[in-house]
């Protein structure tokens, strides 16, 4: 018996990193999964891995900034699997990076569109389908950057803080419908989003991440997938409005490294589009 037997999930940003690990974990736990992403090749590879391991999964091309594409992903879950129980609003990017006075309005807006509008649209179009099924679990990826300063670029940090409080307000509205709303606040996690932009790549990133927090190892996508599985499961039936921190003690003990430099202004797009 899996912890998610009979449940149906949509996961955005599921072609790599946290989303891919969660899609595979959900399938192992018995859920059917819609892998939603801009990265068609990566998304289909994740579906192939899920199916090869005996899971049920399909790919849907989704830009989380586009309302019709988000709506279509939710409808695809119902059309192919009969219901929708879980939405994991996970799609993300680094977005606009640099000193405040050098950031363009366009890059600020692009960043918040993915990180905040994408969460709103995922909730908006999941709620009616979950209500029709008697309830569900909404999960969003926030960040420790939404809890404390200095843990991420300015627009990224602002968006993640908004996701945390949006989670709380949505939880109050939806509790009567048996729809639980929670978010996860990862610390330093070894994902392509970081590794593709880090000098030396994934190999060099691992020891650096191990120094970020009191727990002396890097965080990995599977660590976040484990928390997402708990929040998606009936074990978390009385958990709503929570920001679950998964950071190896980072927010408790602080970073052991100096703040990241902010003198460079740039826009960090999706992981499959960014290279060192």
Active site positions, annotated = 156
The closest alpha carbon to 36, from 25, 44, 27, 28, belongs to: 44
209 and 230 Cβ atoms separated by less than 8 Å: no
Which residue blocks in 91-153 are alpha helix, DSSP H?
105-112, 118-132
Residue 87, φ and ψ in degrees, nearest 5: -125, 125
Which DSSP state fits 152?
A: S
Please answer whether residues 56 and 23 qualify as being in contact, where contact means their C-beta atoms are separated by less than 8 angstroms: no
Q: State the Cα–Cα distance between residues 47 and 20, nearest whole angstrom.
A: 9
Distances (CA, A) of 35 to 4, 184, 204, 247, 257: 16, 19, 29, 25, 35
Reference 209, options 228, 226, 223; nearest CA is 223
């Amino acid at each position: 018996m899996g912890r998610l037997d009979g449940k149906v999930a949509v996961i955005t940003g599921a072609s790599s990193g946290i989303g891919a690990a969660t899609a595979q974990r959900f399938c192992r736990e018995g859920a059917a999964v819609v892998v939603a992403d801009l990265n068609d090749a990566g998304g289909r590879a994740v579906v192939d891995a899920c199916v090869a391991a005996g899971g049920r999964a399909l790919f849907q091309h989704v830009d989380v900034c586009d309302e019709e594409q988000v709506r279509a992903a939710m409808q695809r879950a119902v059309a192919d699997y009969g219901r929708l129980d879980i939405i994991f609003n996970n799609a993300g990017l680094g977005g606009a990076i640099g000193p405040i006075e050098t950031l363009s309005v366009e890059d600020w807006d692009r960043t918040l569109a993915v990180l905040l509008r994408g969460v709103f649209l995922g909730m908006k179009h999941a709620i009616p389908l979950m209500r029709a099924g008697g309830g569900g679990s909404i999960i969003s990826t926030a960040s420790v950057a939404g809890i404390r300063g200095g843990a991420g670029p300015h627009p990224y940090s602002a968006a993640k803080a908004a996701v945390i409080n949006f989670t709380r307000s949505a939880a109050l509205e939806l509790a009567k419908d048996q729809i639980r709303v929670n978010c996860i606040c990862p610390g330093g996690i070894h994902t392509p989003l970081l590794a593709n932009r880090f000098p030396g790549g994934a190999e060099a990133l691992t020891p650096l991440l191990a120094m970020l927090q009191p727990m002396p190892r890097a965080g990995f996508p599977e660590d976040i997938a484990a928390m997402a599985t708990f929040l998606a499961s009936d074990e978390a039936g009385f958990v709503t409005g929570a920001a679950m921190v998964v950071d190896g003690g980072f927010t408790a003990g602080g970073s052991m490294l100096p703040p990241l430099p902010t003198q460079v202004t740039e826009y960090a797009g999706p992981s499959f589009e960014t290279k060192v």
